[in-house]
Amino acid sequence: MFNKLIKSILFTVLLSFFAHQALPQNTWETFGRNRVQHKNFNWKMLSTTNFEIFFYQEGTEIANFAARYAESDFDRIADMLGYTPYSKTKIFIYNSITDLQQSNVGLEDDNFVSGGQTNFIKSRVEIPYTGSQADFKKELSLGIARIFITEMMFGGSLRDMVQSSYLLTLPEWFMSGAAAYVAEGWSLEMDDYMRDAVVNKNLRKPSVLAGDRAVLTGQSIWNFIAERYGRSNISNILNLTRIIRNEESSIASTLGISYNQFIGEWRKYYTSMSGTVTGAYQLPQPDFIVRKNKRNKFLYNQMAISPDGKYMAYSENNKGRYKINIRETGRKRGKTIMMGGSKVINQRINPNIPLVDWRNNTTLAVVHVKEGKNLLSLYDINSRRLPRKKVRKSLESFNQIQAFDISDDGSAMVLSASRNGRNDVFVFDLNRNSIKQITNDLYDDIDPQFMPNSTTAIVFSSNRSSDSLQLNRTGFQLIEKDFDLFLYDPATSATTITRIAGSSGNETQAIAADNTIFYLNDENGIKNLYKYSSGDKTVVQISGFQQNIQSYDLHLPSNGLAFLTIKNGNNYIGFDAGHDFTTASSIVRTRRTEMLDDRNGTAPASTITTPTNTEPSGIRKDSLTVPVASKLDLEEGEVDTDNYQFDADVKKPKDDTDNRNRRTLLNPPIANNARKQNISVQGPFPYQSRFSANNIISSVLIDPLRGLGVLFTINMNDILEDHKIYGGMLGITDLRSSNFFGEYQYLKNRIDFGVRFDKKTIFQSKENVYQRYTLNKVQLSASYPFNVSSRVTLAPFYAATRFTETGLSPQQIGLGDKNTSFAGIRAEYVFDNTTVNGLNMIEGTRMKIRFENYQAINNPSQSFDNLTIDLRNYKKIHRDIIFATRLAYGQFGGRDKKNYLQGGMDNWIFNQKQDHDRGNPLDIASTYDNRDLLFIEFVTPLRGFNYNKLFGNKFLLFNAEFRFPVIKYFYRGPITSNFFKNLQLVAFTDIGAAWTGKGPFSRQNSLNTIVRGGNGNAFEASVTNFKNPFLSGHGAGIRTLLLGYYVKFDVAWGVEDFVPSGPKYYLTFGYDF
């Protein structure tokens, strides 16, 4: 027996070298999230030399824009990264973030790595149009840079993909930060984030950061490399990392200093840079803060003060689920006016939704999205009836809305909205429901506001180069993120607008009051509040915050100022009840802005002071200098992109023709070697679904009934993942038992359809008994997702079972096959809002309720049904410590009830089963038809016992696990070893029962009734006892990634009828529940 066990273990370990990883069975239930489609997408494709651009209805213009800009920016990105992709990159353009949320791409990206899984890197990126051409260019560059870096690190040949999948582990800041730097350079947002981190002493180790903080920190690191050591070292570090698979060694080898020294210099660089600003500017001192937004749980985007100054309304967004709250400005009391949206998981949310403004002192207007459509809802805040909504108006003619304002008399609404790939200004008559378009061109027109006591005069921000409203064709080269303030007044002119404020910065979010216009400006490197007086045409800075004011509103009669800014990396809304709107603030330019001016030649070089102890004597020339290029003969309207390299906010005279040709020297432009005069765009062509392999899995699986097997599966889909094909087989080592399956899913529309075929073969032998059991099943399914977390599924099916005696005795030969056909239906409800934070690290809640009915066609006495309920919760205790609980219940019904077998763990190498003297559901005998084996369900985990310790047609199981990633918890630095990175200690408790009868404590069930005698004995008696029906097991275990397998070792002490047993050991593969 011992030798047999040793051989089994050695054989399994040998197979592991070929299978790579174990199959995560996840305790016999699968869950999963959804994507909800509210519209049909009719895709078409444009083709250029290096890209394929996919778009749908109303996206033709923005797709052509994307094709030409992406092609123009291709060489710059490739040169900076030192990498050229092997094939054309596919870019999918969405008209809005709301449309992007309906995409099926990436739905399964956060699943645990399965056994022997090799993921194929696809050159595909999805880009939403966010309502601004300037931002769209940034989105394109960022998306292209991300996919290039991903291919560079993990792509290439099949061998490279396999090796990188298992050997290359990079911190989040490294790749995401590199992409952000390539796309944006030294951005205003990154500069603001680093200044906040320095001021609040929150400059943490880059390796421990995640999400936006990791992106911005990584962007600052790559910016430091470019500024200190030269941009050529970016590609050197990336390529060396691809080879040696360690980012710290790559940085140290390339720059010639230790990694710790490098991080220290990075800290000093930004600390020194922030010192100049912190002495001149001040931290906000609000009278109150709306909410302490720890861990950046909520996203705030806008606030609005009521006309009488009594209330402040603001939106609060938690991963797509939002609230509209109002709060009294003089008191801390508040209430929620509306709730909407739904939480999205691993998807991008629209940070600009919902929007709020006041129609009058008691009526709040809200622009929001419901089922993919833009809506305007008006709420009476004093109404005691719920809901408080008075009016709802449709704005579905717009793809998305960037901002809106309601006139003083409440009759009109001006909005900045996108339609057909353009962002323009519109006026909506709230009484007549009519829309008038004010601007109609490719330029971005944002943040419109009515002038006081007017329904026609409008002030707004735009990056236009002309003061004319006449329709004109504008090339993408002229669209820059350089916004000035403009006034439209049809009483003066219906075809021209007046530039009222312009500087080297961006002027946005104007609010008009009498003869004064307030707005935000970032010309000094920090976005602060400015005041423009129309009488004397003067501009004064009236706030001196250290951090950017992201959004604001004001009430001049009470000197109230509401503002949105950041602290410790978290955005928050503050309210200042006595702000001084008259006194000018001191002006100090940030180091970033000074360097922009120096590089553009607008300020003396002596004004730039080098950060203390940060610049080496041998500073690289390509970091701080602009190469001299030969002059070109430019035609009217063209831009000489050769005369700048790494952009900055170029100050030029503000006139009506060329003052918008400013570039940001610290943000990457189109490099001179990437400048393409003639870009060929072919198409549009109809979209064709082309299938390719998404991943391949080869793994070892230990079936509790049939033993050791080898599993092979393949997953294929089209590029949009609207069509998915799954196929696979499980071969048992006896070469007689097997599983085959194939499935197709159609996920393009609101209702998801599928068809699946399964074939299961079980071969059993005992002494001279040889039997084969076969199940064939064909199933159709239709799933209706309510939201991204929940769905209901109906699946009719046909199933056929066969029993075959393969023995050679005359009795067995003459028996013949026994067949049964079933028609049935499966109905289930699934809820899943979990997020995956690492291997075996889940957070959130899962639930599944499933009912299956098998109706025997040719023999009704064999009909049965099955109901199961599975509830799971994963609660974060602190950092990465997870407390996981599970409660499961199931019961078979009908005339031919089947059995649940309780005990053991999934993928248990020792695979020990409990023997029973009477009624063992696993027994076989000559001529005995035990096709119940095809429907038996093993209920795990119940540690401390063997498989089949208890059986019955009902079960109840509770599991609790305390999961503690010991190394990851105590050590916050980078962990390169997969063994230590995924090392977990687990304490667990399992409690379960399986029985046949009314209930576990009933006097008439299989647990409390023992039959004595019979089987040829003249006497037979049934004895009822009062045995505790529940088994329990408790113990501890360890988990980690070993040789590519996720391996678990547990030791458990079982308790039966209050009597503990000795320790039982479990060596298993795969993840916990």
pLDDT digits (tens, 9 = 90+) for 333-342: 788 888 888 8
Amino acid identity at 344: V
- Is residue 519 situated within a structural domain? no
Q: For 188-221, give one letter per residue: b (16+ CB within 10 A) or e.
A: bbbbbbbbbbbbeeebeebbbbeeebbbbbbbbb
* CATH code, domain carrying 93: 3.40.30
**Cα 208 to Cα 203: distance, rounded to the nearest angstrom:** 11
Residues 23 and 142 both lie in one domain: no
Measured over the CA atoms of residue 154, residue 158, residue 160 and residue 163, the dihedral's sign is: positive
Task: State whether 855 and 925 are in the same domain.
Answer: yes
pLDDT at 473: 62
Whole-number pLDDT of residue 595: 82
Top mean pLDDT of 465-479, 559-573, 614-628, 747-761 is at 747-761
pLDDT one-digit tens code per residue, 116-141: 555 556 788 999 998 888 899 999 99
Last residue of a domain, one of 168, 184, 205: 168
Q: Are residues 976 and 924 in the same domain?
A: yes
Is residue 402 situated within a structural domain? Answer: no
Q: Residues 14-33: what's their mean pLDDT? A: 49
Q: Which of 539-548, 665-674, 685-694, 735-744 is the most confident on average?
A: 735-744
pLDDT at 712 over 50: yes
In a domain, 529, yes or no: no
Lowest mean pLDDT among 111-115, 668-672, 777-781, 846-850: 668-672
Does the residue 475 lie in any domain?
Answer: no
pLDDT at 261: 94
Q: What is the pLDDT of residue 638?
A: 35
Shared domain for 72 and 20, answered yes or no, is no
Q: What's residue 780's pLDDT?
A: 97
On whether both 962 and 1031 belong to a single domain, the answer is yes
Those residues whose C-beta lies under 8 Å from the C-beta of residue 801, and which sit 6 or more positions away, are 773, 774, 775, 819, 820, 822, 931, 934
Strands of the sheet containing 507-513, edge to edge, are 507-513, 516-521, 528-533, 538-541
901 and 1035 co-located in one domain: yes
Quick check: is 1023 in a domain?
A: yes
124 vs 121: CA distance, rounded Å: 9
pLDDT digits (tens, 9 = 90+) for 790-842: 999 999 999 999 999 886 666 666 577 899 999 999 999 999 989 888 888 99
- What is the C-alpha separation between 954 and 951, in angstroms, rounded? 8
Query: For 457-464, what is the mean pLDDT?
Result: 91
Do 18 and 146 lie in one domain? The reply is no
**449, β-bridge pairs:** 459
User: Tell me, what DSSP letter sits at residue 432?
Assistant: T
User: Residue 945: inside a domain, yes or no?
Assistant: yes
Residue of 1057, 739, 803 lying closest to 932 (CA atoms): 803
Asked whether residue 9 falls in the same domain as residue 45, the answer is no
- pLDDT of residue 607 exceeding 50: no
Count of domains for the chain: 2
pLDDT confidence band for 636 (50 / 70 / 90): very low
**Residue 1051 contacts residue 1064 (beta carbons within 8 Å):** yes
| Domain end marker among 168, 198, 229 | 168
Residue holding tokens 């029985």?
A: 995
In three-state secondary structure terms, 516 is: strand
Q: Is residue 15 domain-shared with residue 127, that is, in the same domain?
A: no
Q: According to the model, what pLDDT value does residue 87 have?
A: 86
pTM of the model as a whole: 0.84
Share of the chain above pLDDT 70, in %: 83
Sheet with strand 422-429: strands edge to edge: 400-406, 412-419, 422-429, 434-437
**Residue 1044 is assigned to a structural domain of this protein:** yes
Range of the structural domain that residue 23 is part of: 2-29+694-833+845-1069
Q: Domain check: are 13 and 63 in the same one?
A: no
Do 13 and 111 fall within a single domain? Answer: no
Distance between CA atoms of residues 624 and 666, nearest Å? 10
Residue 623, pLDDT score = 38
Question: Mean pLDDT across the chain, nearest whole number?
Answer: 83
pLDDT of residue 478: 67
Which tokens hold the place of 622? 């390509």
Q: Residue 797 is part of a domain; what is its CATH number? A: 2.40.160.50
Rounded to an integer, the average pLDDT of 64-87 is 91
The number of angstroms, rounded, from the C-alpha of 609 to the middle of its chain's C-alpha atoms is 41
Among 115, 144, 168, residue at a domain's last position: 168
Dihedral (Cα; 500, 503, 505, 508), 10-degree rounding: -10
Segment 410-436 mean pLDDT: 91
Let me know if residue 647 belongs to a domain.
no
Beta bridge partners of 53: 46, 91
Scan for tokens 């063992």, then name that residue: 920
Residues whose CB falls within 8 Å of the CB of residue 878, separated by 6 or more in sequence, listed in order: none
Phi-psi region of 944 (alpha: psi -120 to 50; beta: other; left: phi over 0): left
Same domain, 795 and 898: yes
Task: Mark residue 742 as left, alpha or beta (left: phi above 0; alpha: psi -120 to 50; beta: remaining).
Answer: beta
